[in-house]
Amino acid sequence: MKKISGAQILLEILQEQGVEVIFGYPGGAVINLYDHLPEYSCRHILVRHEQAAVHAADGYARATGKVGVALVTSGPGATNTVTGLATACMDSIPMVVFTGQVPTPLIGNDAFQEADIVGITRPCTKHNFLVKRVEDLERIVNEAFHIAGSGRPGPVLVDLPKDVIAGMSVKKDAVKPLLKGYNPNYTGHAGQIQRAMKMLFKARRPLFYVGGGAVLADAATELTALACRLNIPVTTTLMGLGAFPEDDYLSLGMLGMHGTYRANMAVTKSDVLLAFGARFDDRVTGRIDKFAADAKIVHVDIDPTSISKNVDVDIPIVGDLLDVLKKMLEVVKDSNEEAERCAAGHDEWLKQIAHWRDLHKLSYEQNDIIKPQFVVEKISELAKGYNPIISTEVGQNQMWAAQFFTFTKPRSWLTSGGLGTMGYGLPAAMGAQVAFPERLVIDIAGDGSIQMNSQELATVVQYNLPVKVVILNNGYLGMVRQWQELFFDKHYSSTQMSHAPDFVKLAEAYGALGLRAEKPEEVEPTLIQAFSHPGPVVVDVVVASEENVYPMVPAGEAISNMLLV
């Protein structure tokens, strides 16, 4: 059999794995790979910073459900991926990141552009590999894709020494992964599912608490079917937005620190709480002993470590959410009478929830200064017909986007939930736009966050990715300022962004369209202009500078204890 180089072997495997696009940045250690790249069908997007390559692969993965791929060089190229890997690891996003490495004989010598990236990224990857011999390359790369995409997904890093990718070997066909210690359980325990359903049928105040796992498992349809069949209200986490249509009367919106009043009250008063692919994060639970304190809890998750980590669970079910939900729907089918009775038995509970809804709606007062919530509502309204994908940065912009955009579809919401990475939104939007050139992809940004990766405007212009960046420009690091206002006597230490670029000119300098809205009546026409423009656009919206995100649960308080104004 003919020997080919490690670089060619790698690129052939990527082709076999169905990789359509690599987000990357070349350098000395990966130059051999780049030399062969044009011979393969896989598209390469040249980013302007390695962090953005990883966020773009992440955005691509969230929007498509496929494994995202990034490729960078050794040393600084590799260390620049760390934030992107940690972001993906916290949110369970499937991804394989290839890093160059100095030749194996030089490893450990403090060689030029050497970094122990496998050591550095061990805690922020699902797994990582250093390929020491070209003969191991094929097996390891196949294992990397298998690990990234199966079980609870996550990022995997593969470190490629230069002599390994330059070395010659024979490519075998479809080398199966050989992983003695890795065998995720997909099948939910039938007995546990029966018990859970029995408990659910009897519940007077049941509630579904749905996390990002429902999106990752592509289980939104089944979830919606179960909730609607049994007439059970649904609240989603930040990561779960889109798993249940928010225009349905059973939707309570998001729960947690900036959740809706009705969602947080419903959790507090529920008697049976079904957690689907959610991990009882501190931003969701607030004070843990007051979280769903009166409820029996059923927790469905593919990752056993998530179960009983933060709260005691009455019925744990380890398995793939799609499998478990299908089985739950079967139970419903087999116990039609009970299901009927269950569906008809929640009138009082739903009436109570409607009362909470009317008591404190998400609200703001639009006067002569543009309110950021108004902008998000307008985006939601105007983007409706375009099958939009929304990405966000982190902070107030993210929370307003989560609260005021009406999410109806899974995989149309890209946000750094667990790690809270500022600078995530633009590169993630870029990745999603590569996957879906025809869809409207909008990054809802803040004036602080956008400056963390604004260099990617060059990338979106180069590849004509028509991403729309809407900056809610309040001249502050708004979320920190809000905390300072509420809990630190308005001591605005280092949160005023007293010098920012002119974002319209910045867009123009990169060759994108720059637009600005300064008055409420300008918002709609400006957004319409942006959305109908065929190329990338930056919209600088000058919003009220000291607007706060409400409701807000102060850190460490029970989630029923909300600041409402």
Partner 1 sequence: MKHIINVLVENEFGVLSRIASLFSGRGFNIESLTVAETDDSTISSMTIVTQGADHIIEQITKQLNKLINVIKVVELTESEQMARELVLLKFAVNSGAKRLELLRLVEVYQGRVLELGPRSLIIEMTGERAKVEAALEVLGPFGIKEMSRTGMVALARDSCK
Q: How far is the CB of 1 from partner 1 (least distance, A)?
A: 27
Nearer to partner 1, 132 or 195 (CB): 132
User: By CB under 8 A, is residue 105 in contact with partner 1?
Assistant: no
User: By CB under 8 A, is residue 147 in contact with partner 1?
Assistant: yes
Nearer to partner 1, 129 or 503 (CB): 129
User: By CB under 8 A, is residue 127 in contact with partner 1?
Assistant: yes
Give strand pairing partners of 159.
99, 130
Nearer to partner 1, 179 or 563 (CB): 179
Both tokens of residue 155? 């990022």
Cα-Cα-Cα-Cα dihedral sign, residues 79, 84, 90, 92 = negative
Annotated active-site positions, please? 50, 112-113, 162, 479
CB 100 within 8 A of CB 77: yes
Nearer to partner 1, 318 or 537 (CB): 318
User: By CB under 8 A, is residue 119 in contact with partner 1?
Assistant: yes
CA atoms of 327 and 331, how far apart (whole Å): 6
Return the range that interacts with partner 1 (CB under 8 A); candidates 20-28, 251-259, 305-313, 325-333. 305-313
CA atoms of 209 and 277, how far apart (whole Å): 9
Among 16, 104, 135, 182, binds partner 1 (CB under 8 A): 182
Q: How far is the CB of 130 from partner 1 (least distance, A)?
A: 8
Whether the link from the prior residue into 551 is cis, omega within 30° of 0, is yes
Among 1, 38, 181, 368, binds partner 1 (CB under 8 A): 181
Nearer to partner 1, 138 or 222 (CB): 138
Nearer to partner 1, 148 or 429 (CB): 148
CB 91 within 8 A of CB 394: no
Return the range that interacts with partner 1 (CB under 8 A); candidates 65-73, 175-183, 255-263, 447-455. 175-183
Cα-Cα-Cα-Cα dihedral sign, residues 466, 470, 475, 481 = negative
Nearer to partner 1, 126 or 162 (CB): 126
Q: What Å distances lie between residue 237 and 16, 34, 399, CA to CA?
A: 35, 40, 12
Q: Which residue has the tokens 């089944």?
A: 222
Residue type, 292: A
User: By CB under 8 A, is residue 385 in contact with partner 1?
Assistant: no
Helix (H) or strand (E) holding 532: helix 520-532
Q: How far is the CB of 311 from partner 1 (least distance, A)?
A: 10
User: By CB under 8 A, is residue 126 in contact with partner 1?
Assistant: yes
CB 161 within 8 A of CB 111: no
Among 1, 2, 123, 367, binds partner 1 (CB under 8 A): 123
Q: How far is the CB of 312 from partner 1 (least distance, A)?
A: 8
User: By CB under 8 A, is residue 304 in contact with partner 1?
Assistant: yes
CB 471 within 8 A of CB 526: no
Both tokens of residue 302? 């593919």
User: By CB under 8 A, is residue 556 in contact with partner 1?
Assistant: no
DSSP 229-276: HHT--EEE-TTTTTSS-TTSTTEEEE-STT--HHHHHHHHH-SEEEEE
Among 15, 39, 105, 122, binds partner 1 (CB under 8 A): 122
Q: What values do phi and psi take at 437, rounded to 5?
A: -60, -25
Q: How far is the CB of 123 from partner 1 (least distance, A)?
A: 5
CB 122 within 8 A of CB 128: yes
Q: How far is the CB of 139 from partner 1 (least distance, A)?
A: 13
Integer-rounded Cα Rg, in Å, for the chain is 24
- The Cβ of residue 41 has, within 10 Å, a number of other Cβ atoms equal to 9
CA atoms of 416 and 394, how far apart (whole Å): 7
Among 246, 303, 338, 557, binds partner 1 (CB under 8 A): 303
Return the range that interacts with partner 1 (CB under 8 A); candidates 176-184, 243-251, 429-437, 502-510. 176-184
Return the range that interacts with partner 1 (CB under 8 A); candidates 126-134, 336-344, 351-359, 491-499. 126-134
Q: Return the biggest CA–CA distance within the chain.
A: 74
Nearer to partner 1, 182 or 483 (CB): 182
CA atoms of 476 and 543, how far apart (whole Å): 11
- The Cβ of residue 142 has, within 10 Å, a number of other Cβ atoms equal to 18
Return the range that interacts with partner 1 (CB under 8 A); candidates 26-34, 238-246, 298-306, 323-331. 298-306
Among 43, 172, 204, 309, binds partner 1 (CB under 8 A): 309
Return the range that interacts with partner 1 (CB under 8 A); candidates 37-45, 179-187, 242-250, 345-353. 179-187
Q: How far is the CB of 314 from partner 1 (least distance, A)?
A: 15
Within 13 A of 178's CA, how many CA atoms are on the CB side? Answer: 7
Q: What values do phi and psi take at 20, rounded to 5?
A: -95, -30
Return the range that interacts with partner 1 (CB under 8 A); candidates 84-92, 117-125, 380-388, 445-453. 117-125
Helix axes 220-230, 336-344, angle to 10 degrees: 70
User: By CB under 8 A, is residue 305 in contact with partner 1?
Assistant: yes
Nearer to partner 1, 70 or 313 (CB): 313
Q: How far is the CB of 429 from partner 1 (least distance, A)?
A: 31
Footprint (CB under 8 A) of partner 1, residues 24-83: none
Q: How far is the CB of 521 from partner 1 (least distance, A)?
A: 52
Which residues lie near partner 1 (CB under 8 A)? 118-119, 122-123, 126-127, 130, 147, 179-182, 303-305, 308-309
